[in-house]
Structure 1
Amino acid sequence: MLSWAAKQHRGRTALIFGDDCLTYDDVEAGSNRLAHALLSLGLQVGDRVAVLLNNSPEAIESVFAVEKAGLVYVALNARHTLAEQIAILEDAGATLLVAGPEFRDIGEGVRDGVTSLRHVIGLDWQAPAVLDYRELLASMPADAPNVQVAADALLRIAYTSGTTGKPKGVTYTVKRWYERLTNHFYAMEYSLGVDDAMLHVGPLTHAAGVHLLPCYLRGARNVILEKFEPLETLRQIDRHCITQMMCVPTMLTRLLDTLDSGVDADLSSLKCIHYGTAPTSVDLIRRAITRFGPVMRQQYGMTEAVQPLAVLYPHEHADEGALRSCGKPTANVQITVRDTNGQELAQGEIGEIAIATDGIGEVAFWRRPDLEAEAIRDGWYYSGDLGYLDAQGFLYIVGRNKDMIISGGFNVYAREVEDALECHPQVVEVAVLGLPDAEWGERIAAFVVIRDGATVDSETLANHCTALIAGYKKPRLIEFVDALPRNNAGKVVKNILRDGYLARLERNES
């Protein structure tokens, strides 16, 4: 499919990154050279290749190359600490790591911590025993390698946090990914053509990357920012006549604040702003519609699914009631709400969201059969999200039963943060939860019990987390309590902590 797109759209602009414009021929040749380079190092079909790069043409070149070589692509989160990177590399059994210049310390640091790792390729940095990315590609052929793989061969492992804090890798086979790309749904859903331009402002390893391949296959331009910055985002929309973009709520808020400050930008080219990945307030949605027009499109999905599961289309945003929903199920998707016994609930009743769609029964977790048995029952995937369906078929999400927090578009599991805080010698126990936040969707809050006589403060505990977990996982609120509320079974009742804090906040504001 990638080589077909290169031939189909030969000579057209495929990627724009700063002042660099790459044609389809450029991307095809570069990814082919890297694919040959990986094979020349002795990698075999099925070997795992991890990539740690910020948004860049090389980030796209790498994923294309790994797949063309019949290898398994593992994207690493640029915000993870060295310890977190090592845990994922070990779990994946990665044979090779490609690392950018910003990640030199990690590229060198993982060498002794990952038993399976045989090679590290450095992009624009050099060190002993580290291969030079550009030198490696210079002598390689520009044609696609002739590698044959079976339809059920592994193509990607996408890591998301586990409820216990352990790495959880969702796997995709060649067949499942190919069906995603060739499914008529994508042509119908995105209505993409050669005159479209998609602006990527979030990490391509996360939700933003979902839109890249459909755009590439349809001949649309992919305009990439290294990182999100509101003023530069507005300039790029104006400069490149952007028609589509993806934003998490935090980005939307900052874009609107920048525009409200008096910044002038021509936004008339925008046809669709995709948003989601985190709770989005109705006030923010209304504000965005007022500023951008009827172009907002919410999408509900998850790493385990290879297509959007529910969509709230731009025209449906005119329904005030529907604004609180995430839309209706998409083509070939069935969504039901079930109780703890797996029985389907009536309209309006809250339960766990269960999904049935093509390939959902094939969901697999890397080296975690326990998760598969827990999540897939009788052909239905149990999402862990709590919600309900109304009479019109709109889906409303009210919470999560897996204690997950989504802050700034990133998934954070409370257990990971609790483990980090409980490592501090002055901490007895911790309960971590998400609180509503207008900018971040949810704010990570930690309620901490410290040892008698301890004098530790919240800043010290936040700094303590820095070496253990990524910055976006650090608590933004730390409150000290004498004891954690528990039920008769001895389990911490987090709702009491949440409700008590919000009640105190409301009293203080009034």
Structure 2
Amino acid sequence: MILGDVIERNARCFGHHPALLFEGRRIDHRTFHERVVRLINALADLGCVKQDRIAVLSRNCPEYLEAYGAAALGGFVGLGLNYRLSETEQAAVLADAQPAVFIFEAEYAGRARALRDRLPPGTHCICFEGPMDGALGYETLLAAASPVQPALRAVEDDTFLLIYTSGTTGVPKGVMLGNEGQLEQARTQAQSHAAVQTDRMLVVMPFYHIGGPTELLTYLVAGATIVLHRTFDAQEILHSIQAQRVTAAHLAPTMISMMLEVQEKTPFDLSSLHTVCYASAPMSVALSLRARAVFGPVFMQIYGMTEAGLGTTLLKHQHVLDGSETDRKRLASAGQAYLGTALRILDDAGRECAPGEVGEVCLRSKSVMQGYWQKPEATAAAMHSGYLHTGDMGYLDEDAFLFIVDRKKDMIISGGENIYSREVEEALLMHAAVAEVAVIGAPDAQWGESVAAIVVLKPGAAVTAEALVTHCRSLIAGYKKPKIVKFVDAMPRVPSTNKIDKRALRAPFWAGRERQVS
């Protein structure tokens, strides 16, 4: 079975049920299927073949989802191009992926024009809004194509998506995600979400990022409705939940925090909402407590990465606020492994760690990536002994709840002691004045490295560095407390994921040194 079978089944079984709601447009499952088939046939008419890469430069829109649908059913490879990257960065991705088709929306026509000379010879350029600067018109192509039978059809081991990593740990690499693997992931997550056909799932994560396609597929499997947003605006999202009677949403913790600021001042009716899945970063215990007080018991966490697919989940009933100390501690965990996912914590020698012992998180499931595009050495380094080695450091408790403590490279060694930044960040986030924090290792002549905290305060809040250090000393061991506290107005962020860019934060501290660790 392939992802395309789901699109066909939805058209057959739920044809008149809305598949997409977007800015006043309503597209039912039958129409979505027909447009996907037309796109497959239009691309085939242009001479495209299976596994050709279809690059898309656009914000979220229904046509973007149709391009991914053509990959799912027709056997093309969908490639979402991060619109926040520079021209040079985008050109590097295109040069690596060698797409046969480059589709863009009019907002990025200027950038598309600049990139065209750097595309492979013969690349077909298509504009969603119509013919422009030599590009073909999307709707014109679809109108001329057959709606009846796709000329090409995917098989289980076809690559479905090529998603480029953010480059947090090096040069961006194209992660190959397989058709059958993504179907397995969608089925498993639909079960964990308790997704049903009558759900309305709000998707605002961009489709060049794994979050958007993951939640789309999770609810597509159920035949549900996607309430699609072009960009994130806290008030607009809250209004959409109220107006469209949204039942589920996928949000990053930073989004949840911004929505709380609005909801606490101007409440919207969120009574239809039964599930909010958060990912991209852990939610601090402090934010989890605050969010549940406002939204109710709707939160579940997903831990994974582009390469891993299924990892772990902390389900709604496991977000326990008033239970035992163990229950409350598990609010900071990433939950337990999905059914069908093997999870091991390994030390540097490849030995399995005991409960409570920190090691590298390693995962195995059907949804793990096929590999890095044209990078066999990088693939072999990440996938060996039958597992994907995530580069995340964590430990399991006695009931196999996973606690992430850091990226492997972010571990701070001070005076021979290992310090994990996540634990220090959690302590700082428990202070009422702190909105956001990142903890990094800074060079220290005496101790090798010392703990540095970069802090963003809440609007109108004030606190001294000394007060924050004292606060930390009351929560964590003294040697873990920050030695350096730097206040900033905003954090630098990785464009593709909006995560805090710790490499940028480290740079001033380690400037002029050959090594970034001591």
TM-score between the two structures when normalised by the length of structure 2: 0.77
CA distance in 1, matches of 2:456, 2:342: 31
Matches within 5 A, 1:428-439: 435=454
Aligned to 1:327: 335
Q: Deviations over 1:205-260 (max 9, x none)?
A: 32133111221231211101111111111111111111110110111011000012
Q: Residue 277 of structure 2: which of 270, 274, 277 is its match?
A: 274
Aligned to 1:256: 260
Q: Deviations over 1:396-420 (max 9, x none)?
A: 10110245999xxxxx9x9xxxxxx
Contact 2:37/2:147 (CA < 8 Å) preserved in 1? yes
CA distance in 2, matches of 1:230, 1:148: 40
CA distance in 1, matches of 2:148, 2:18: 19
Q: Residue 234 of structure 2: which of 211, 227, 230 is its match?
A: 230
CA distance in 1, matches of 2:386, 2:275: 34
1:344 aligns with 2:352: yes
Paired amino acid for 1:311: T
Paired amino acid for 1:303: T
Matches within 5 A, 1:282-297: 282-297=285-300
1:142 aligns with 2:147: yes
Q: Residue 221 of structure 2: which of 217, 220, 224 is its match?
A: 217
Contact 1:297/1:312 (CA < 8 Å) preserved in 2? yes
1:34 aligns with 2:46: no
Aligned to 1:167: 172
1:355 aligns with 2:355: no
Contact 1:48/1:92 (CA < 8 Å) preserved in 2? yes
Contact 2:203/2:249 (CA < 8 Å) preserved in 1? yes
Paired amino acid for 2:351: Q
1:245 aligns with 2:253: no
Contact 1:95/1:117 (CA < 8 Å) preserved in 2? yes
CA distance in 1, matches of 2:511, 2:133: 51
Contact 1:80/1:469 (CA < 8 Å) preserved in 2? yes
Q: Deviations over 1:451-503 (max 9, x none)?
A: xxxxxxxxxxx9xx99x9889589798799697596xxx52228xxxxxxxxx
Instruction: Give the superposition deviation at 1:65.
Output: 2.0
Aligned to 1:56: 61
Which has the larger displacement, 272-281 or 120-129? 120-129
Q: What SS is found at the alignment partner of 2:221?
A: helix
1:198 aligns with 2:222: no
Q: Deviations over 1:71-105 (max 9, x none)?
A: 21111112112111111111111111000111112
CA distance in 2, matches of 1:162, 1:374: 16
CA distance in 2, matches of 1:151, 1:330: 22
Q: 1:14 to 1:149 in 2, by over 3 A?
A: closer
Paired amino acid for 1:287: R
CA distance in 1, matches of 2:200, 2:405: 34
Gaps of 5+ in 2: 321-326, 412-420, 423-437, 441-451, 459-489
Q: Could you say what the CA RMSD is over the residues aligned between the two structures, in angstroms?
A: 3.1
Contact 1:100/1:125 (CA < 8 Å) preserved in 2? no
Instruction: Give the superposition deviation at 1:43.
Output: 0.8
CA distance in 2, matches of 1:296, 1:95: 41
CA distance in 1, matches of 2:259, 2:367: 37
Aligned to 1:452: none
1:492 aligns with 2:494: no
CA distance in 1, matches of 2:72, 2:338: 28
1:378 aligns with 2:385: yes
Contact 1:87/1:167 (CA < 8 Å) preserved in 2? no
CA distance in 2, matches of 1:18, 1:149: 31
Aligned to 2:406: 399
Q: 1:122 to 1:67 in 2, by over 3 A?
A: same
Contact 1:163/1:403 (CA < 8 Å) preserved in 2? no
Contact 2:44/2:151 (CA < 8 Å) preserved in 1? no
Q: What SS is found at the alignment partner of 2:319?
A: helix
Q: 1:473 to 1:325 in 2, by over 3 A?
A: closer
Contact 2:166/2:495 (CA < 8 Å) preserved in 1? no
Contact 2:250/2:278 (CA < 8 Å) preserved in 1? yes
Q: Deviations over 1:147-179 (max 9, x none)?
A: 244433332211113466423111123333344
CA distance in 2, matches of 1:480, 1:150: 46
Q: How many residues align?
A: 437
TM-score between the two structures when normalised by the length of structure 1: 0.79
CA distance in 1, matches of 2:178, 2:331: 35
Paired amino acid for 1:166: V
Contact 2:72/2:154 (CA < 8 Å) preserved in 1? no
CA distance in 2, matches of 1:76, 1:244: 26
Contact 1:281/1:438 (CA < 8 Å) preserved in 2? no
CA distance in 1, matches of 2:168, 2:233: 32
Q: Residue 76 of structure 1: which of 60, 78, 81 is its match?
A: 81
Instruction: Using the aligned pairs only, state the percent identity.
Output: 32
Q: What SS is found at the alignment partner of 1:234?
A: helix
Gaps of 5+ in 1: 407-411, 415-432, 440-461, 495-510
